[in-house]
Amino acid sequence: MWQEFKEFAIRGNAPDLAIGVIIGAAFAPIVKTLAASILMPVIGYATAGVDFSSLAITPIEGVNIQYGHFLIALAQFIITALALFLIIKCINVMRRPPEAPPEPAAPPQSELYLKEIRDAVVKAN
């Protein structure tokens, strides 16, 4: 059983998945800071100074629904998804096999006739 586990852990995508999780965990604070400290204030400025972290409604006394935090989390998700998409796209471009060189164009018919004439002359001599 131990041998099977070692083969599973070392083979295939398990190390890639572990690296992805670690990079994702390291990437999360960067995205959170980007969204909360840079992107959302700019969007707030563009929307007449709205502070998204303070957006909330109180439909029932004592119940405060802070939907501004949801909007910030949504922005973080979109930034993360876009960054991952761009990373995967770059990786796929680098993994793409090189394109085969184009086939040489067929020689023009006049060149074929000249070769036939040359071959006939060489054969006659």
State the Cα angle at 20 between 17 and 22, rounded to 5°. Answer: 110
Q: Provide the pLDDT for residue 91.
A: 79
Q: Tokens representing 78?
A: 């979109």
DSSP state of 53: G
Least confident of 16-20, 88-92, 101-105: 16-20
Q: Is 30 left (phi over 0), alpha (psi -120 to 50) or beta?
A: alpha
Residue in the structure block whose two tokens are 């802070």: 66
Name, of 18-22, 64-68, 88-92, the range with top average pLDDT.
64-68
Segment 33-40 shows an average pLDDT of 82
The Cα 119–Cα 26 span in angstroms is 72
Q: How confident is the model at residue 43 (pLDDT cuts 50, 70, 90)?
A: confident
Q: What is the CATH number of the domain that holds 53?
A: 1.10.1200.120
The Cα 29–Cα 118 span in angstroms is 75
The Cα 72–Cα 78 span in angstroms is 10
Residue 94 has pLDDT above 80, yes or no: yes
Domain that holds residue 102: 2-124
**Domain count of the fold of the chain:** 1
